[in-house]
Amino acid sequence: MKKNASTRIQGVCRVKGGSDIQDEILRLKEERHAIILAHNYQRAEVQDIADVVGDSLELARAAAGMDGNVIVFCGVDFMAETAAVLSPKKTVLLPAPDACCPMADMITADQLRLVKSRHPNAAVVCYVNTTAEVKAESDICCTSANAVAVVNSVPEKEIIFVPDRNLARYAVRFTKKTILPWEGYCLVHDRYTPAQVSFARRLHPNAIVLVHPECRPEVIDCADHVASTSGILKLVRTLPDKEFIIGTEVGILHRLTKESPEKTCYPLSPDAICVNMKKTDLVKVRNALVSMQPRVTVPAEIADRARGAIERMLAL
C-alpha cells in the first residue's frame, strides 16, 4: 500500500509542545513533500519528528513504498543508499553525511569478488549493512530481522555471508546450509560479554535478557531472546514480564519507554552507543530540508544490480 507524505506508520510524531526547530522541520517537510525516516538508534528528538521509526527492514520497506519527492534518512550511509537504490527518482538526503557504519566498510566489492571466485557454487547473502557496490555483487540481501529466512530461501547449499560474522553464526544455528562468514563485526554489539549479562542478571534477577543477533555467540547463549531492534520492541510490548535487560544500542530505550511505559528496561551496557547514529540532530535535519543537501546518489549501473538483491529480500 502506498503511503502519502504525511502518514505516520509507527505512531511516532511530534512531541506535545514541540520546539521552534521541530515546527520548522514539520513545515519544511510539508513544503518539500518529504518523508523523514529514522532508525531506532537515532536521538530521541530526531525519532520524535520522524514519519517512520523502525529497524533496517521496516525502513527499507518504507523507502520502497512511500509517495513523496524527498526522503530524509536519519540513520547511516548504507540505509540512505538502500533508499536511493529503491527509489532512484526520489531525492534522498542524509543530514549527517559522515554517518557511516564501520561494519559496512569492513568488506569491499573487490574482496567479495575474490571470495566468489574461490566458491563459484555458493550464493552470496549480504547483510543490509553493506555498500551498494557489495549489494551489487550479492544474490540477496538480509537484515537482522530476516537473516535466517533469507539464508533458508536460497537454493544453494553453500552461502557466502557478508560482512557480519556474528549474524552469520547466529543463522548457522537455524540452517543445514554451509555458511562461510566474512570476519566483519559491529563495534557496538561485538563488545558485549557474558560477564556483563551475568552482572546485569544479578542486579535485576527478574528481568528477561533480550539481545541483538549482532552480539557474539557466547552472549547470545546467555540471552532469553534474540531479535532485531523492532523485534526487541515487540517482545517488550507483548511478553507478560515487567523488567527487561536490553542488549542493543541505547537509542532504542526512547521508543521502549514511550511504547511500553508500564515496563522497566535496563541497558545491558550504558556505553553501547553507536557514535555514527548520533551524528544526526535536529539542526542537520532542518538544514538538509532547507538546502536539499547532502544528497545520496548511487550510479545507475551499480544501483540496477544492487536493487535485485534488495528486492529479492523484500519479496520474501
Applying CB under 6 A, the residues found at the interface with ligand SF4 are 76, 101-103, 129, 186-188, 249, 274, 276-277
Residue closer to ligand 13P by CB (options 103, 289) is: 103
Which value, in Å, is the radius of gyration of the alpha carbons in the chain? 19
Chain positions 122 to 181 lying near ligand 13P, rule: CB under 6 A, are 129, 143-145
| Whether 74 contacts 95, CB under 8 Å | yes
E runs forming strands in 25-181: 34-39, 52-54, 70-74, 91-93, 123-127, 140-142, 158-162, 178-181
CA 139, CA 191: separation in Å to the nearest integer?
Answer: 30
Residue closer to ligand SF4 by CB (options 25, 274) is: 274
Neighbours of 274 (CB within 10 A): 22
Residue 102 interacting partner from ligand SF4, ligand 13P, none (CB closer than 5 to 8 Å by kind) = ligand SF4
Q: How far apart are CB 76 and ligand 13P at their closest, in Å?
A: 6
Residue 276 interacting partner from ligand 13P, ligand SF4, none (CB closer than 5 to 8 Å by kind) = ligand SF4
Chain positions 93 to 122 lying near ligand 13P, rule: CB under 6 A, are 101
Q: How far apart are CB 291 and ligand 13P at their closest, in Å?
A: 26
CA 100, CA 10: separation in Å to the nearest integer?
Answer: 25
CA 9, CA 31: separation in Å to the nearest integer?
Answer: 20
- Give me 238's grid cell: 507483548
Residue 229 interacting partner from ligand 13P, ligand SF4, none (CB closer than 5 to 8 Å by kind) = ligand 13P
Instruction: Read off φ and ψ for residue 106, nearest 5 degrees.
Output: -85, -5
Query: Per CB under 6 A, which region of 1-9, 52-60, 159-167, 233-241 contacts ligand 13P?
Result: 52-60
Interface residue with ligand 13P among 55, 81, 137, 139 (CB under 6 A) is 55
Distances (CA, A) of 99 to 79, 121, 245, 255, 272: 10, 35, 27, 21, 17
Residue 187 interacting partner from ligand SF4, ligand 13P, none (CB closer than 5 to 8 Å by kind) = ligand SF4
User: Is 254 strand, coil or helix?
Assistant: helix
Residue 143 interacting partner from ligand SF4, ligand 13P, none (CB closer than 5 to 8 Å by kind) = ligand 13P
The residues binding ligand 13P (CB under 6 A) are: 40, 55-57, 101, 129, 143-145, 186, 212, 214, 228-229
